[in-house]
Amino acid sequence: MPLKLRLQRHGKKRSPFYHIVAADSRAPRDGKFVEKVGTYNPNTNPATVDLNFDRAVHWLSVGAQPTDTCRAILSYKGVMYMNHLNKGVAKGAMTQEQAQAKFDKWMEGKDAQIASKISGLDKVVREVAAASLKAETEIKEKRAAEYAAKNAELAAEAAKAKADAEAATATAEVSEGEAEASSEETTEA
């Protein structure tokens, strides 16, 4: 029975979630499997991989062939490198301690890469948020200036209307006063 390490799709439409399984290569994609080795969630950034490291190395050592995508995931987590080092130990090229030291050094570098990617993503998110806040502040200030200008214009119009009304009232009073004066003159004559 030829075994493969491959992905088994789960999740909703347009939101995939995968199980990493050791399965017979003739079984359907989401069908029977021998053992579940881990999970892979590509919806997060960076992708989340939860893997039973020892069991994945075991399946590779007994001859299971990973699919291309699964090989990339296993390589990302260091399973492929550990399998390579174990073959070197089996051939007598190095001791188990030397192999473990090489693997630990590799993992430190890999962890540093992952941490820098995460910090880079956080930095981008902060920059986008700052740019968005700046744009919103500019829009807010522009609207406040437009509102103040409109209110000043309305206040000027109201003051002009009030002045016109006072002038009209004063003119009407003067006209009434002149009319009364002229009517008094006509009554005296």
Confidence tier at 156 by pLDDT (50, 70, 90): confident
Q: How confident is the model over 155-172, as a mean pLDDT? A: 83
Domain extent listing, the chain = 3-80
What per-residue confidence (pLDDT) applies to 97?
92
**DSSP code string of 46-80:** SPEEEE-HHHHHHHHHTTPEEPHHHHHHHHHHTHH
pLDDT at residue 9 above 80? yes
pLDDT in tens, 24-60: 989 988 888 999 999 999 998 888 999 999 999 999 9
May I ask the CATH architecture of the domain 3-80? 2-Layer Sandwich (3.30)
Report yes or no on whether pTM surpasses 0.85: no
Q: How confident is the model over 132-153, as a mean pLDDT? A: 90
Confidence tier at 184 by pLDDT (50, 70, 90): low
Bridge partners (DSSP) listed for residue 17: 10
pLDDT in tens, 98-125: 999 999 999 999 888 888 888 888 888 8
Rounded to 10 deg, the angle between the 53-61 and 68-77 helix axes is: 130
Q: How confident is the model over 113-139, as a mean pLDDT? A: 88
CA dist 131 to 41, 124, 128, Å?
A: 30, 10, 5
Length of the chain, in residues: 189
The alpha-helical segments, DSSP class H, found in the chain are: 53-61, 68-77, 79-91, 96-188
Q: Which residues contact 77 (CB under 8 A, 6 or more apart)?
A: 49, 51, 53, 56
- Per the prediction, the chain carries an average pLDDT of 88
Confidence tier at 1 by pLDDT (50, 70, 90): low
Answer for the pair 16, 42: CB distance below 8 angstroms, yes or no: yes
Least confident of 33-37, 71-75, 152-156: 152-156
Percent above pLDDT 70 for the chain: 93
